[in-house]
Amino acid sequence: MVQMAMDEIHDTKPERVSKILSAHGVASRREAERMILAGRVSVNGAPATLGQKATPGVDEIAVDGAPLAPVSKAFYLMLNKPRGYVTTMSDEQGRRAVTELVSDIDARVYPVGRLDINSEGLLLLTNDGAFANAVMHPKFGKTKTYQVQARGDIAAAAAKLANPMEIDSHTVKAASVKVLKLTSDGGFLEIIINEGRNRQVRKMCEECSIKVLSLKRTAIGNLRLGNLPAGKWRHLSEGEINLLRSI
């Protein structure tokens, strides 16, 4: 099991308040920004403003009047997400959240990126905002590998997926496409992408006139899901954490 002291991970320097809240597991960065706009966050007794910076351990940050508790340990988890779970901290529609699957962890961890409710496979969870950013941000170039079962002309789709296409007003293409198996009505593809836009692989397949039957993320960068059972999680090793941190 790998747990790290947060002061071993971050230098004490000014950071955006939303990033600090995210690193402490209070909320995602986007939700933290909404909390700031709603006036729920203060820095040294004054209401925080969007984009404001503060120094962890020096400035007093409070949420709803309660001082932000220090985070002493960082957690890095790999989960094999099953279908039927949303990758949010909670859901307004009452759907099951992936955090329910790691409720035995003695820390508030949150998903790194997303998999839609009908997708499954490799999902990382952490309470280290800098680590999450290193995995998610496009500038760090972490590829995502998916295994897709689809119905339709798989060979034709594979050729088209390797070419640029417009998805939601953005030009995207697969970094790599491999036909794994052909069946009587479709087959299986391995698709690797460099981006990570909302439902990107599904939308790319739809653009190629094939119907996705199942979609499973099998790798992020060089980190592979392996034989971790669906619905189960494990701690990342120190070597895996460093691998994901590297550019």
Q: So what's the pLDDT on residue 247?
A: 55
Residue carrying structure tokens 């295994």 = 147
Catalytic residue among 116, 128, 168, 185: 116
Contact 174, 150 (CB under 8 A): no
Q: How far apart are CA 90 and CA 139, in angstroms?
A: 29
Compute CA distances 174 → 164, 166, 196, whole Å.
Answer: 8, 12, 11
Q: What is the pLDDT of residue 40?
A: 94
User: What count of residues does the chain have?
Assistant: 247
Write down all domains in the chain, each with its CATH number in brackets. Answer: 3-67 (3.10.290.10), 73-139+223-245 (3.30.70.580), 143-220 (3.30.70.1560)
Average pLDDT, the chain: 87
Taking alpha carbons only, the member of 60, 36, 58, 30 closest to residue 48 is 36
Asked about 116 being catalytic, the answer comes back as yes
* Contact status, residue 144 vs residue 192, Cβ threshold 8 Å: yes
The pLDDT of residue 10 is above 50:
no
Summarised one tens digit per residue, pLDDT across range 197-246 is: 889 999 999 999 999 999 999 999 999 999 999 999 999 999 999 888 87
Dihedral sign for Cα atoms in the order 98, 99, 102, 108: positive
Q: Note the pTM of the prediction, 2 decimals.
A: 0.74
The pLDDT of residue 14: 86
Place of tokens 């002309």: 153
Kindly report, residue by residue over 17-74, the tens digit of the pLDDT.
998 887 776 777 788 899 999 999 999 999 999 999 998 778 899 999 988 876 668 8
pLDDT at 82 over 80: yes
Mean pLDDT of 84-106: 85
Say what the pLDDT of residue 122 is: 98
Give residue 128's Cα distance to chain centre. Answer: 12
pLDDT band (50, 70, 90) for residue 149: very high
What pLDDT is attached to residue 109?
A: 86
| 1 has a pLDDT exceeding 50 | no
Of 133, 31, 152, nearest in space to 92 by CA: 31
pLDDT at 6: 46
Q: What DSSP string describes 231-245?
A: T-EEEPPHHHHHHHH
**Residues in CB range of 133: below 8 A, 6 or more apart:** none
